[in-house]
Structure 1
Amino acid sequence: MEESSEESIRVREMIIDDLSEVFHIGEEVFTAEFSKNLYRTWDEYEITTLFNTDSELCLVAEAGERILGFALGTTVKKHHSPWKYGYLVWLGVRKNIQKGQIGSKLFREIKRRMKEQGVRMIIIDTSADNEPAIRFFQKQGFGHTQEHVYMNLNLSRKTKKKAVKKS
């Protein structure tokens, strides 16, 4: 397949005209089946916020005119810390071409850009059961995997209240 040959793939900064296509690729990749425990939802608000605040860390990979994947990141400077952190918020590649080095190319470019901005550590997060993502990031050099616990309380469920007997 022509579009998956590494030479024909170009990584560039996302432009406003790419937002819709990036959103649709994310809808295809980040579904409820992808991770039933995903604590962040894929939505257009987060994409546009990242694009408006950190556009140089919003990248797309394309072959010809077709967008194949994207990487969306940001940087964080913590108060009282000399370190600047990079946070790779989302990385997605079209499902039918996920083994074609597109994710690696996107990651290398966002890592290069973060390093240029003075980032000393890149952080990613994914579900503990997302083995393909964990393997991918380990291949990129990530280590020190830490699991964390998060809990939720669904406030939209109607609960039956016990009748209180008046005396």
Structure 2
Amino acid sequence: MTSQDVSAQNKLCVREMTIDDLPEVFHIGEEVFTAEFSPTLYRTWDEYEITTLFNSDTELCLVAEWEDRIVGFALGTTVEKQRGPWKYGYLVWLGVRPNVQKAKVGQGLFRELRRRMHDQGVRMIIVDTAADNEAAISFFRKQGFGNPREHVYLSLNLTRPRKK
């Protein structure tokens, strides 16, 4: 299956994730979020991420199917600040099989997630990615995101002796 196959057939189905989809979603994430491609995403991608979001925000956990095969997923949540006037949407994970990443699978997933968040009263969607992930930044800009901000991650290795 190639991105041209998915685009040409236009039989992409975006639906709510079921519990039976969890293993396949995890494996797609393993394909996409590799240590070589993105150490930051690889570090945080695990089964707990999927199950936690699935258990708390099932309606914002989506899969994209093409010919009865899952080719991508989106995992989102909402955040409401206490005494805050806005409800925020957070697109936590978006993964598409590498061989169909140019077939608008991500766009279909995002469009449905956006619709669902809007229906829930979300006023702003937030997404983050690595500053050097040019493909993701380009994708999100095409979806209407703007105003990028870089943030810094620091780490502390506790297995090394502390220097005085």
Aligned position for 1:153: 156
Equivalent-residue separation in structure 2 for 1:19 and 1:138 (angstroms): 28
Cα distance change on mapping 1:58 and 1:160 into 2, 3 Å: closer
Runs (5+) with no aligned partner, structure 2: none
The letter for the 2-side match of 1:122 is I
Aligned length: 161
TM-score, with structure 2 as normaliser:
0.92
| Offset from partner CA, 1:54-113 (integer Å, 9 cap, x none) | 000000000121000000000000112110000000000001110000000000000000
Pick one of 126, 140, 145 that aligns with 1:123.
Answer: 126
Aligned position for 2:65: 62
Aligned position for 2:115: 112
Q: How does 1:30-69 map to 2 (within 5 A)?
A: 30-38=33-41, 41-69=44-72
Runs (5+) with no aligned partner, structure 1: 163-167
Equivalent-residue separation in structure 2 for 1:111 and 1:47 (angstroms): 19
Query: Equivalent pairs: percent with the same residue?
Result: 70
CA contact (8 A) 1:11 1:61 kept: yes
Paired residue secondary structure (1:126) = coil
CA RMSD of aligned residues (A): 1.7
- Which aligned segments of 4 or more residues in structure 1 are displaced greater than 6 angstroms? none
